[in-house]
Amino acid sequence: MSKFQKKQANTKQQVPTAAMPDIIFMLLIFFMVVTVLREVELQVRVDFTRADNIEKIEQKRLVSYIYIGPEILGGGQYGDTRVQIDDALIDDIYAIRRLMYDKLSEEPRLIVSLRVDEASEMGVVSDVQQELREAGTLRINYSTLRGDQAPM
Amino acid sequence: MLLKKRERVVGEVPQAGMADIAFLLLIFFLVVTTIDVDTGIFMQLPPPPDPEQEPPPIRERNLMNILVNAQGLILINEEPASLQDVQQLVMDFVDNENRAQDPDLAEDPRSAIVSIKTDRQTPYEIYIDMLDEVIGAYRQLRNEAAQREFGITYREYQNRVSRDDNVIREMYPQNISLAEPDPGS
Protein backbone atom coordinates (compact mmCIF):
# COMPACT_ATOMS: atom_id res chain seq x y z
CA MET A 1 0.00 0.00 0.00
CA SER A 2 2.73 2.37 0.95
CA LYS A 3 4.58 1.52 -2.23
CA PHE A 4 1.59 2.45 -4.33
CA GLN A 5 1.26 5.81 -2.64
CA LYS A 6 4.88 6.61 -3.22
CA LYS A 7 4.61 5.92 -6.89
CA GLN A 8 1.65 8.21 -7.28
CA ALA A 9 3.49 11.00 -5.60
CA ASN A 10 6.38 10.63 -8.04
CA THR A 11 4.26 11.03 -11.17
CA LYS A 12 4.99 14.26 -12.97
CA GLN A 13 1.97 16.30 -13.95
CA GLN A 14 3.18 17.09 -17.47
CA VAL A 15 2.13 16.22 -20.98
CA PRO A 16 4.79 13.92 -22.35
CA THR A 17 6.49 15.57 -25.31
CA ALA A 18 8.99 12.84 -26.03
CA ALA A 19 6.81 11.32 -28.75
CA MET A 20 6.25 14.63 -30.53
CA PRO A 21 9.29 14.36 -32.80
CA ASP A 22 8.11 10.94 -33.87
CA ILE A 23 4.74 12.33 -34.88
CA ILE A 24 6.34 15.19 -36.76
CA PHE A 25 8.75 12.84 -38.47
CA MET A 26 5.87 10.70 -39.57
CA LEU A 27 4.17 13.74 -41.10
CA LEU A 28 7.46 14.72 -42.67
CA ILE A 29 7.97 11.32 -44.25
CA PHE A 30 4.38 11.33 -45.48
CA PHE A 31 4.90 14.63 -47.26
CA MET A 32 8.25 13.57 -48.66
CA VAL A 33 6.74 10.44 -50.15
CA VAL A 34 3.51 11.97 -51.42
CA THR A 35 4.80 15.09 -53.10
CA VAL A 36 6.74 15.36 -56.30
CA LEU A 37 9.24 18.11 -56.84
CA ARG A 38 8.72 20.06 -60.02
CA GLU A 39 11.04 18.40 -62.48
CA VAL A 40 10.99 20.82 -65.36
CA GLU A 41 11.12 24.55 -65.66
CA LEU A 42 8.03 25.53 -67.60
CA GLN A 43 8.73 27.83 -70.52
CA VAL A 44 5.17 27.89 -71.76
CA ARG A 45 2.03 28.87 -69.92
CA VAL A 46 -0.25 25.97 -69.14
CA ASP A 47 -3.63 26.80 -67.67
CA PHE A 48 -5.56 23.58 -67.50
CA THR A 49 -9.06 23.26 -68.80
CA ARG A 50 -11.74 21.50 -66.85
CA ALA A 51 -13.69 18.32 -67.47
CA ASP A 52 -15.92 16.08 -65.40
CA ASN A 53 -15.40 12.60 -66.77
CA ILE A 54 -11.75 12.23 -65.94
CA GLU A 55 -9.55 9.49 -64.59
CA LYS A 56 -6.50 9.51 -62.39
CA ILE A 57 -3.16 8.46 -63.79
CA GLU A 58 -2.26 5.60 -61.51
CA GLN A 59 1.25 4.78 -62.69
CA LYS A 60 3.11 8.03 -62.58
CA ARG A 61 6.42 6.59 -63.63
CA LEU A 62 5.03 5.66 -67.04
CA VAL A 63 4.06 9.22 -67.79
CA SER A 64 5.92 11.60 -70.03
CA TYR A 65 4.68 15.15 -70.39
CA ILE A 66 4.28 17.39 -73.39
CA TYR A 67 3.48 21.02 -72.67
CA ILE A 68 1.70 23.14 -75.23
CA GLY A 69 0.94 26.79 -74.67
CA PRO A 70 1.99 30.36 -75.31
CA GLU A 71 5.66 30.96 -74.65
CA ILE A 72 6.44 32.92 -71.50
CA LEU A 73 8.46 35.98 -72.46
CA GLY A 74 8.72 37.49 -69.00
CA GLY A 75 7.11 40.64 -67.69
CA GLY A 76 3.67 39.12 -68.05
CA GLN A 77 4.05 38.85 -71.82
CA TYR A 78 3.20 35.78 -73.82
CA GLY A 79 4.46 34.83 -77.26
CA ASP A 80 3.25 32.35 -79.83
CA THR A 81 2.07 28.87 -78.99
CA ARG A 82 5.04 26.55 -78.54
CA VAL A 83 5.59 22.92 -77.65
CA GLN A 84 7.85 21.98 -74.77
CA ILE A 85 9.16 18.52 -74.01
CA ASP A 86 11.26 18.05 -70.88
CA ASP A 87 13.31 21.24 -70.61
CA ALA A 88 13.42 22.32 -74.21
CA LEU A 89 11.13 24.14 -76.56
CA ILE A 90 10.63 22.24 -79.79
CA ASP A 91 11.35 24.28 -82.90
CA ASP A 92 10.82 21.56 -85.44
CA ILE A 93 7.57 19.74 -84.87
CA TYR A 94 8.89 16.67 -86.68
CA ALA A 95 11.54 16.25 -83.98
CA ILE A 96 8.83 15.05 -81.62
CA ARG A 97 8.66 11.80 -83.55
CA ARG A 98 12.23 10.84 -82.71
CA LEU A 99 12.10 12.13 -79.16
CA MET A 100 9.01 10.16 -78.33
CA TYR A 101 10.22 7.09 -80.15
CA ASP A 102 13.33 7.08 -77.97
CA LYS A 103 11.22 7.45 -74.87
CA LEU A 104 8.97 4.64 -75.99
CA SER A 105 11.85 2.25 -76.50
CA GLU A 106 12.95 2.96 -72.94
CA GLU A 107 9.48 2.43 -71.52
CA PRO A 108 7.15 0.39 -73.75
CA ARG A 109 4.09 1.19 -71.66
CA LEU A 110 4.58 4.91 -71.97
CA ILE A 111 1.64 7.23 -71.42
CA VAL A 112 1.98 10.68 -72.91
CA SER A 113 0.24 13.36 -70.93
CA LEU A 114 -0.64 16.40 -73.00
CA ARG A 115 -0.70 19.48 -70.84
CA VAL A 116 -2.28 22.02 -73.08
CA ASP A 117 -3.16 25.59 -72.28
CA GLU A 118 -6.88 26.18 -72.53
CA ALA A 119 -6.45 29.02 -75.02
CA SER A 120 -4.49 26.91 -77.52
CA GLU A 121 -5.90 26.04 -80.90
CA MET A 122 -6.50 22.51 -82.09
CA GLY A 123 -4.08 22.81 -85.01
CA VAL A 124 -0.91 22.47 -82.96
CA VAL A 125 -2.45 19.81 -80.70
CA SER A 126 -3.37 17.80 -83.75
CA ASP A 127 0.11 18.17 -85.23
CA VAL A 128 1.58 16.80 -82.01
CA GLN A 129 -0.91 13.96 -82.05
CA GLN A 130 0.06 13.05 -85.61
CA GLU A 131 3.69 12.94 -84.50
CA LEU A 132 2.79 10.72 -81.57
CA ARG A 133 1.01 8.36 -83.93
CA GLU A 134 4.10 8.17 -86.08
CA ALA A 135 6.25 7.53 -83.02
CA GLY A 136 3.91 4.79 -81.87
CA THR A 137 3.12 6.36 -78.51
CA LEU A 138 -0.59 5.81 -78.75
CA ARG A 139 -1.67 6.05 -75.13
CA ILE A 140 -2.30 9.68 -74.39
CA ASN A 141 -3.97 11.65 -71.69
CA TYR A 142 -5.32 15.17 -71.85
CA SER A 143 -4.52 16.74 -68.51
CA THR A 144 -7.53 18.52 -67.10
CA LEU A 145 -8.72 19.64 -63.73
CA ARG A 146 -11.92 18.36 -62.21
CA GLY A 147 -14.83 20.58 -63.17
CA ASP A 148 -15.45 22.04 -59.73
CA GLN A 149 -11.81 22.42 -58.71
CA ALA A 150 -10.37 25.85 -58.02
CA PRO A 151 -7.81 27.08 -60.57
CA MET A 152 -4.20 26.62 -59.64
CA MET B 1 19.87 0.88 -5.63
CA LEU B 2 22.75 3.15 -6.31
CA LEU B 3 23.25 1.71 -9.78
CA LYS B 4 19.67 2.30 -10.74
CA LYS B 5 19.85 5.97 -9.87
CA ARG B 6 22.93 6.51 -12.00
CA GLU B 7 21.34 4.92 -15.01
CA ARG B 8 18.42 7.36 -14.87
CA VAL B 9 20.72 10.35 -15.00
CA VAL B 10 22.52 9.06 -18.10
CA GLY B 11 19.23 8.38 -19.92
CA GLU B 12 18.10 12.00 -20.03
CA VAL B 13 19.24 13.24 -23.40
CA PRO B 14 17.52 16.55 -24.20
CA GLN B 15 14.86 15.88 -26.79
CA ALA B 16 13.06 19.19 -26.84
CA GLY B 17 15.00 20.52 -29.83
CA MET B 18 14.31 17.53 -32.01
CA ALA B 19 10.69 18.53 -32.62
CA ASP B 20 11.85 21.94 -33.80
CA ILE B 21 14.28 20.44 -36.27
CA ALA B 22 11.58 18.12 -37.59
CA PHE B 23 9.16 21.03 -37.85
CA LEU B 24 11.65 23.01 -39.89
CA LEU B 25 12.12 20.14 -42.30
CA LEU B 26 8.36 19.63 -42.50
CA ILE B 27 7.74 23.28 -43.31
CA PHE B 28 10.50 23.20 -45.92
CA PHE B 29 8.84 20.30 -47.70
CA LEU B 30 5.40 21.82 -47.39
CA VAL B 31 6.58 25.00 -49.07
CA VAL B 32 8.82 23.49 -51.71
CA THR B 33 6.61 20.78 -53.09
CA THR B 34 3.73 21.09 -55.51
CA ILE B 35 1.11 18.45 -55.73
CA ASP B 36 0.74 17.77 -59.44
CA VAL B 37 -2.54 17.52 -61.23
CA ASP B 38 -2.57 14.06 -62.56
CA THR B 39 -6.07 13.68 -63.77
CA GLY B 40 -7.24 13.78 -67.30
CA ILE B 41 -9.05 12.17 -70.18
CA PHE B 42 -7.43 9.02 -71.51
CA MET B 43 -7.43 8.42 -75.22
CA GLN B 44 -6.00 5.75 -77.44
CA LEU B 45 -4.63 7.11 -80.70
CA PRO B 46 -4.94 5.00 -83.83
CA PRO B 47 -1.72 3.63 -85.31
CA PRO B 48 -0.29 5.63 -88.23
CA PRO B 49 -2.18 5.10 -91.47
CA ASP B 50 -0.80 2.53 -93.85
CA PRO B 51 -0.73 4.04 -97.34
CA GLU B 52 -1.07 0.64 -99.01
CA GLN B 53 -4.06 -0.45 -97.05
CA GLU B 54 -7.48 1.01 -97.64
CA PRO B 55 -9.38 1.92 -94.48
CA PRO B 56 -12.03 -0.67 -93.65
CA PRO B 57 -15.49 0.17 -94.92
CA ILE B 58 -17.82 1.59 -92.31
CA ARG B 59 -21.54 1.69 -92.75
CA GLU B 60 -22.94 5.16 -92.76
CA ARG B 61 -25.34 4.49 -89.90
CA ASN B 62 -22.56 3.32 -87.60
CA LEU B 63 -20.70 6.57 -87.82
CA MET B 64 -21.58 9.66 -85.87
CA ASN B 65 -19.88 12.75 -87.23
CA ILE B 66 -19.26 15.50 -84.74
CA LEU B 67 -17.82 18.65 -86.19
CA VAL B 68 -16.64 21.56 -84.07
CA ASN B 69 -15.72 24.70 -85.95
CA ALA B 70 -13.48 27.59 -84.99
CA GLN B 71 -16.35 29.46 -83.36
CA GLY B 72 -17.14 26.44 -81.19
CA LEU B 73 -20.35 25.65 -83.04
CA ILE B 74 -21.25 22.00 -83.17
CA LEU B 75 -22.57 20.05 -86.11
CA ILE B 76 -23.72 16.48 -85.49
CA ASN B 77 -24.43 14.52 -88.66
CA GLU B 78 -24.83 17.79 -90.56
CA GLU B 79 -27.30 19.19 -88.05
CA PRO B 80 -26.46 21.95 -85.57
CA ALA B 81 -26.55 20.95 -81.92
CA SER B 82 -25.66 22.49 -78.60
CA LEU B 83 -23.12 21.12 -76.15
CA GLN B 84 -25.82 20.17 -73.64
CA ASP B 85 -27.50 17.86 -76.15
CA VAL B 86 -24.34 15.99 -77.10
CA GLN B 87 -24.38 13.47 -74.28
CA GLN B 88 -27.98 12.46 -74.93
CA LEU B 89 -27.42 12.28 -78.69
CA VAL B 90 -24.35 10.08 -78.29
CA MET B 91 -26.18 7.80 -75.88
CA ASP B 92 -29.13 7.47 -78.27
CA PHE B 93 -26.76 6.77 -81.11
CA VAL B 94 -24.54 4.20 -79.40
CA ASP B 95 -27.23 2.38 -77.48
CA ASN B 96 -29.73 2.47 -80.34
CA GLU B 97 -30.18 -1.31 -80.09
CA ASN B 98 -31.72 -1.04 -76.63
CA ARG B 99 -33.50 2.25 -77.15
CA ALA B 100 -35.32 3.70 -80.14
CA GLN B 101 -34.03 1.16 -82.72
CA ASP B 102 -33.86 3.92 -85.27
CA PRO B 103 -32.63 2.53 -88.62
CA ASP B 104 -30.45 5.63 -89.08
CA LEU B 105 -28.48 5.13 -85.88
CA ALA B 106 -25.84 2.56 -84.94
CA GLU B 107 -26.59 -1.14 -85.38
CA ASP B 108 -25.08 -2.08 -82.03
CA PRO B 109 -22.76 -0.42 -79.50
CA ARG B 110 -19.77 -2.48 -80.61
CA SER B 111 -19.73 -1.17 -84.15
CA ALA B 112 -20.72 2.40 -83.28
CA ILE B 113 -18.01 4.95 -83.97
CA VAL B 114 -18.04 8.52 -82.79
CA SER B 115 -15.86 10.69 -84.98
CA ILE B 116 -14.77 14.08 -83.69
CA LYS B 117 -13.45 16.57 -86.18
CA THR B 118 -12.29 20.09 -85.53
CA ASP B 119 -10.91 23.04 -87.41
CA ARG B 120 -7.32 24.05 -86.83
CA GLN B 121 -8.61 27.21 -85.18
CA THR B 122 -10.97 25.43 -82.80
CA PRO B 123 -10.12 26.36 -79.21
CA TYR B 124 -8.71 23.43 -77.25
CA GLU B 125 -11.08 24.15 -74.39
CA ILE B 126 -14.15 23.56 -76.53
CA TYR B 127 -12.66 20.38 -77.93
CA ILE B 128 -12.10 19.05 -74.41
CA ASP B 129 -15.64 20.01 -73.40
CA MET B 130 -16.85 18.07 -76.41
CA LEU B 131 -14.72 15.03 -75.62
CA ASP B 132 -15.86 15.23 -72.03
CA GLU B 133 -19.49 14.97 -73.11
CA VAL B 134 -18.81 11.97 -75.32
CA ILE B 135 -16.84 10.18 -72.59
CA GLY B 136 -19.64 11.09 -70.20
CA ALA B 137 -22.16 9.41 -72.48
CA TYR B 138 -20.13 6.22 -72.54
CA ARG B 139 -19.66 6.33 -68.81
CA GLN B 140 -23.39 6.65 -68.31
CA LEU B 141 -24.08 3.74 -70.65
CA ARG B 142 -21.54 1.55 -68.89
CA ASN B 143 -22.95 2.56 -65.55
CA GLU B 144 -26.46 1.60 -66.65
CA ALA B 145 -25.22 -1.72 -67.98
CA ALA B 146 -23.38 -2.47 -64.74
CA GLN B 147 -26.50 -1.65 -62.74
CA ARG B 148 -28.61 -3.82 -65.00
CA GLU B 149 -26.32 -6.84 -65.09
CA PHE B 150 -24.68 -6.81 -61.69
CA GLY B 151 -26.57 -4.24 -59.63
CA ILE B 152 -23.46 -2.20 -58.89
CA THR B 153 -21.97 0.95 -60.36
CA TYR B 154 -19.44 0.64 -63.15
CA ARG B 155 -16.70 1.98 -60.91
CA GLU B 156 -17.30 -0.80 -58.39
CA TYR B 157 -17.43 -3.35 -61.17
CA GLN B 158 -14.18 -2.05 -62.59
CA ASN B 159 -12.50 -2.51 -59.25
CA ARG B 160 -13.70 -6.10 -58.99
CA VAL B 161 -12.67 -7.53 -62.33
CA SER B 162 -9.47 -7.29 -64.30
CA ARG B 163 -9.33 -5.27 -67.49
CA ASP B 164 -9.44 -8.38 -69.67
CA ASP B 165 -12.54 -9.78 -68.01
CA ASN B 166 -14.45 -6.56 -68.22
CA VAL B 167 -17.63 -7.57 -70.09
CA ILE B 168 -19.17 -4.13 -69.93
CA ARG B 169 -16.14 -2.54 -71.46
CA GLU B 170 -16.48 -5.04 -74.26
CA MET B 171 -20.18 -4.30 -74.55
CA TYR B 172 -19.57 -0.57 -74.92
CA PRO B 173 -16.11 -0.09 -76.39
CA GLN B 174 -15.19 3.54 -76.60
CA ASN B 175 -14.74 3.89 -80.34
CA ILE B 176 -13.81 7.51 -80.68
CA SER B 177 -12.09 8.56 -83.83
CA LEU B 178 -10.15 11.82 -83.91
CA ALA B 179 -10.17 13.09 -87.45
CA GLU B 180 -7.43 15.32 -88.74
CA PRO B 181 -8.62 18.91 -88.63
CA ASP B 182 -9.50 20.93 -91.67
CA PRO B 183 -6.95 23.59 -92.51
CA GLY B 184 -9.67 26.15 -91.94
CA SER B 185 -9.52 29.70 -93.17
| Domains observed in chain B | 60-175 (3.30.420.270)
| Predicted confidence (pLDDT) at residue B184 exceeds the cutoff of 60 | no
SS3 content of chain A, % helix, strand, coil (to 5): 35, 30, 35
- What is the tens place of the pLDDT at every residue in B105-130? 878 888 888 888 888 888 888 888 88
Q: What is the mean pLDDT of residues B12-29?
A: 78
Per-residue pLDDT at A19: 79
For residue B118, list chain A residues with Cβ-Cβ distance below 8 A: 122, 126
For residue A44, list chain B residues with Cβ-Cβ distance below 8 A: none
Per-residue pLDDT at A11: 65
Per-residue pLDDT at A7: 55
Q: Determine the Cα–Cα distance for residues A69 and A48; give it in Å rounded to an integer.
A: 10
A122/B15 Cβ within 8 A: no
The CA-atom distances, in angstroms, between B26 and each of A25, A30, A37, A112 are: 8, 10, 14, 32
B29/A31 Cβ within 8 A: yes
Q: Determine the Cα–Cα distance for residues B13 and B11; give it in Å rounded to an integer.
A: 6
Beta bridge partners of A78: A72
Q: What is the mean pLDDT of residues A63-83?
A: 87
Q: What is the mean pLDDT of residues B27-52?
A: 79
User: In this structure, are residues B95 and B139 in contact, taking their beta carbons and an 8 Å threshold?
Assistant: no
Q: Where are the beta strands (DSSP E) in chain A?
A: 49-51, 55-56, 63-74, 77-85, 88-90, 111-116, 139-146
| Predicted confidence (pLDDT) at residue B78 exceeds the cutoff of 70 | yes
Q: Determine the Cα–Cα distance for residues B116 and B50; give it in Å rounded to an integer.
A: 21
| Domains observed in chain A | 2-34 (no CATH), 49-146 (3.30.420.270)
Q: Determine the Cα–Cα distance for residues A78 and B62; give it in Å rounded to an integer.
A: 44
Residue A94: CB atoms within 10 Å: 11
Residue A132 near chain B (CB below 8 Å): yes
pLDDT band at A74 (very low <50, low <70, confident <90, very high): confident
A33-42, A141-150, B49-58, B87-96: least confident range: A33-42
A28-37, A75-84, B151-160: least confident range: A28-37
- What is the tens place of the pLDDT at every residue in A14-36? 777 777 778 888 888 888 787 76
What's the burial of B154, exposed, middle or buried (CB within 10 Å: 0-12/13-18/19+)?
buried
Q: What is the mean pLDDT of residues B172-177?
A: 84
